[in-house]
Amino acid sequence: MKSMMIVLALGVLLTGCANNLSRHKIHPDLVGQISEKKVALNLNLPSKHIVLKETQYRVLWLNYQQDKVSYEAVWDSDKDFEEAYQEGFLRMGVLADPKVDSASYKKAFTKLYPSLPMRERFCQVPNSCGPKLDSYSKVYQTPEFDEFAADLISGGYEYLIDVTIPEFIANDLNLGVKVIGSYPTINIIKLDSKDLISQKVATITHRISAKNDLEKIHEDGMAFFKEAVFSGISGSFREKAVWYGEEYWAY
Amino acid sequence: MSSFDQTKRIEEFNYRIGETYKDDVISALGLPDTYLKSQEKELLGYQGKVDGRDYFIPLPVHIAPIGGDMMLVTYINLAGLTSEEVSKLREVDVIFKFDQYEILEDVIDNRGSK
């Protein structure tokens, strides 16, 4: 048996996941602290998959059916995600530079990713909530990260914003409600000391039109999926939630 | 049968080695379950059947206010698949292999061996 958490509010019911973020709040001065500094941005996309999920209500229980598909075959997504997060941080007043050579670190992260313990306790779809927050310390102790950090420091960078986007969930609740979302973790690291000064789960959640068929998610260059994802990322920066770890739903 | 089930679409899909493009396969079958790419080739793996069928029978065990009008209700699920069970269900039925020009080079059909 596994425990699950459902909030009666619609939002969490749609996403099927809740996060305890209060202990990860950061000091409001952090924005000011890093906005004047040279900041690098790195995105990790260790599993470029979408979990397609269909829920059918049966009064006393719910039937789920799910399949996991790869979007990598049709979408070279890294640059698009980098631009979306760069824009989001720019709106916060932080110029985060994604043009850094992180290939070796990304490769090491992707290799290490399957062995990291996953946040499954409140996660409706196994593995889709990403790694447990404290497991990132293991990632930041790898030689590849040391090398990456040293390169950044020699390039004049003082902080690294390290974003990890796990699998996406596309959920059809069969009541005309369809939601696309994910649970990216945003870690901010002070490079000279390698201190993790902030850690957030900045949820991406966006409700899509009921007429969009998840079975046809590949059509038109994945247009409705991309629109939902980037609206969700934009929403994750709203109200500075990305800094304070507040949950929100961008419908 | 779930709309995500590709079994019938795989059966009905007519492909031609040397003629079928990657886009043709994706248009007909949707996104692959697995994907691998190197400089010389791309592999698209299709599983056919969905990963898992699951059900959730809620037994409320705790209720707590979380602000506003929202209440947090914790349930124990009396049913369900574990992540290990879900991963065991993932097997690829058909692998389409494309060359560097995204033209179909080979098809590995595992359906008969299951």
CB contact (8 A) between residue A3 and residue B75: yes
**CA dist., res. A49 & res. A44, Å (int):** 13
CB contact under 8 A, A61 and B82: no
Of the residues A68, A124, A172, A174, the best mutation for testing chain B's interface (the one with the most B CB atoms within 10 Å of its CB) is A68
Whole-angstrom distance, CA of residue A212 vs CA of residue A182: 18
Token pair for A127: 């593995």
Distance CA A167, CA B51 (A): 15
Give the minimum alpha-carbon distance from A155 to chain B in angstroms, rounded to a whole number: 31
* A48: chain B residues, CB-CB within 8 Å: 35
Q: What is the pLDDT of residue B64?
A: 67
Tell me the nearest-neighbour CA distance from B101 into chain A, angstroms: 14
* Element of type H or E holding B24: helix B22-29
Interchain proximity A1–B76, CB inside 8 Å: yes
Residue A249 lies in a domain: no
Where residue B34 sits, what CATH number does that domain have? 3.30.1450
Rounded to the nearest angstrom, the minimum Cα separation between A14 and chain B is 14
Average pLDDT rounded to a whole number, residues A30-45: 90
CA distance B77 to chain A (A): 6
Q: Which pLDDT tens digits describe chain B residue by residue (114 residues)?
A: 447 888 888 889 999 999 999 999 999 999 998 898 887 788 898 887 776 666 666 666 666 665 666 666 666 555 554 555 444 445 677 888 898 889 998 888 877 765
What's the total number of domains in chain B? 2
Tell me if A3 is assigned to some domain.
no
Residues of B in contact with A210 (CB under 8 A): none
Q: What is this model's ipTM?
A: 0.77
Determine if residue A139 is left, alpha or beta; phi over 0 gives left, psi from -120 to 50 gives alpha, anything else beta. Answer: alpha
CA nearest A7 in B: which residue?
B72
Query: In which domain, by residue range, is B11 found?
Result: 1-51+90-114
The verdict on residue A251 lying in a domain is no
What range defines the domain where residue A218 resides? 10-244
Number of folded domains that form chain A: 1
Q: What per-residue confidence (pLDDT) applies to A27?
A: 54
Same domain, B68 and B98: no
Residue range A97-107, pLDDT digits in tens: 999 999 999 99
Phi/psi for A78 (5° steps) reads -55, -50
Question: Using CB atoms, which residue from B33, B58, B72 is nearest to A7?
Answer: B72
Q: Are residues B29 and B63 in the same domain?
A: no
Could you tell me which of A152, A165, A63, A60 has the C-alpha nearest to residue A110? A165
Q: Say if A111 falls within a structural domain.
A: yes
The reported pTM is: 0.79
